[in-house]
Amino acid sequence: MGDALAARYQALVRTLPADAAGLHALGLALRQDFGCDRATLFLKARHGVYVAIYAEGLEDMTLAVKPGEGLAGKAVQRRAAIVSNEAPYDPDALSRLRDHYSGYETHSVMVAPIPRLLRAPEGAVQLINKLTGPFTDDDLARLSAVANGLRGLRRFCRAPAENLWDPHLHRESSDGRAPADQAVLADHREG
């Protein structure tokens, strides 16, 4: 199952448009596959900082973490997936501060580094608030597989410096998908 997930995300990274709509479709796929509320994608930027190029729900807010800082930074530093099903009480979680500014309530966070051979991770993928209970060990293993498939994510953003999440692409229609999602994912399935 892990190899199939990695292959699916590898295909998405290769074939989705290298723009905000492509990132949004990638975020939608992550939310659907893991049954969670939000997704965040980090890429390594200058000076070893990891910048969120796609952070759902955080309009006009750029997230950046150093290795070892917050759950995303810990996952990057350890080169291993991490889960926290009690994020408001987790001393490593930075969500309390961001929730204060955004009004969102983070309950659970799962994050995995996007690996590179013999080098620091390319980035990290973070999922927030599983909709049907806590994240499980199975979810953690699946996210690690997905992270392997996300290698090459840099094609969406060569110089990570800001959050490219676009709230206009995120507005959901009556079937639960944003209009842009319907077209992008349909094109991907046909192609």
Please report, in tens digits, the pLDDT of each residue of the chain (191 residues total).
Answer: 678 999 999 999 999 999 889 999 999 999 999 999 999 999 999 888 999 889 888 777 778 899 999 999 999 999 999 999 988 888 787 776 666 566 778 899 999 999 988 888 999 999 999 999 999 999 999 999 999 999 999 888 877 777 677 777 765 533 444 444 444 444 444 44
pTM value is 0.84
170 is a domain residue: no
Yes or no: say if 55 and 45 are a contact pair by the CB < 8 Å rule: no
Residue 145 CB contacts under 8 Å (≥ 6 apart), including other chains = 1, 2, 3, 5, 6
CA-wise closest residue to 9 among 19, 22, 20, 21: 22
Domain count, the chain: 1
161 is a domain residue: no
16 is a domain residue: yes
Q: Which residues pair with 114 in a beta bridge?
A: 123
Q: Which residues pair with 112 in a beta bridge?
A: 125
20 is a domain residue: yes
Yes or no: say if 65 and 50 are a contact pair by the CB < 8 Å rule: yes
pLDDT at residue 100, as a whole number: 57
7 is a domain residue: yes
pLDDT at residue 46, as a whole number: 84
Domain range holding 84? 1-156
Yes or no: say if 184 and 25 are a contact pair by the CB < 8 Å rule: yes
Q: Which domain CATH number covers 143?
A: 3.30.450.40
How many other CB atoms are there within 10 angstroms of residue 129's CB atom?
A: 19
90 is a domain residue: yes
- CA-to-CA distance for 178 and 176, rounded, in angstroms? 7
167 is a domain residue: no
CA-wise closest residue to 119 among 51, 63, 44: 44
CA-wise closest residue to 22 among 171, 190, 164: 164
CA-wise closest residue to 53 among 114, 135, 130, 139: 114
pLDDT at residue 147, as a whole number: 96
111 is a domain residue: yes
